[in-house]
Amino acid sequence: MIAIIDYDAGNMKSVEKALQFLGQETVSTRDRDVLLRADQVILPGVGNFGDCMEQLNTFGLVPVIHEIVEKKTPFLGICLGLQLLFESSEEAPDVPGLGILPGRIVRIPQSEGLKIPHMGWNSLSLSGNGRLFAGIPDGTYVYFVHSYYLKAEEPEIVKATTEYGVTIHASVEKDNVFACQFHPEKSSAMGLRMLQNFASIRKEGN
């Protein structure tokens, strides 16, 4: 069973529908026991970094997320869900992130001819044999909607980048933690393949 963390995030339903289309058993929940029993857990997210961290705190989900990660349960952050995994964001400078991975979220710089938010299809440059990208060709196009992007402190965790005025760390993987700035659930057949790849990852020792 794949658990989707329910904290009133915008793209929760589209992630759930994509997984159900793939035949995966899913549950959207904020129940600690259900989340800790899940085979995999997904943190979706659309919106403001500070508001979403406030929601996670309101529902008591911050310590639960840390428990899930410490249990080595495969964990996937999507869009703002990626950003929340890191330490801080320029979008809400006074609000600490989850701090599960080292790095910070910064605003995409203004650049002639580029609109912010970055909204649309961009190609990925893959590196480091990321498990989400098994069977995915280099240069695959995926769908982005964001105004802020990740600058990871550990280059070795970056498994995909894209270019939008700057080099954007588009996907990371470290141990059992995975994250995508783009929306695999909205990225056609290749995005569904990435979700299927995640669904096939098992907790260490299982």
List, for residues 86-106, the tens digit of each pLDDT value. 999 999 999 999 999 999 999
Token pair belonging to 119? 């909204």
The rounded distance, in Å, linking the Cα atoms of 206 and 202 is 6
Q: For position 202, what pLDDT does the model report?
A: 84
Which residues does the annotation mark as catalytic? 79, 183, 185
Task: Name the residue ranges covered by the structural domains of the chain.
Answer: 2-199
Buried b (16+ CB within 10 A) or exposed e, 18-29: bbeeeebebebe
In CATH terms, 2-199 corresponds, of 3.40.50.880, 3.30.300.30, 3.40.50.10800, 3.30.70.100, to 3.40.50.880
Examine the pLDDT at 205 and tell me if it is beyond 60: no
Mean per-residue pLDDT for 186-203?
A: 94
HSE (side-chain half, CA atoms, 13 Å) at 137: 5
The model scores a pTM over 0.85: yes
Of residues 67, 70, 105, 68, the one with CA closest to residue 84: 105
The rounded distance, in Å, linking the Cα atoms of 153 and 101 is 9
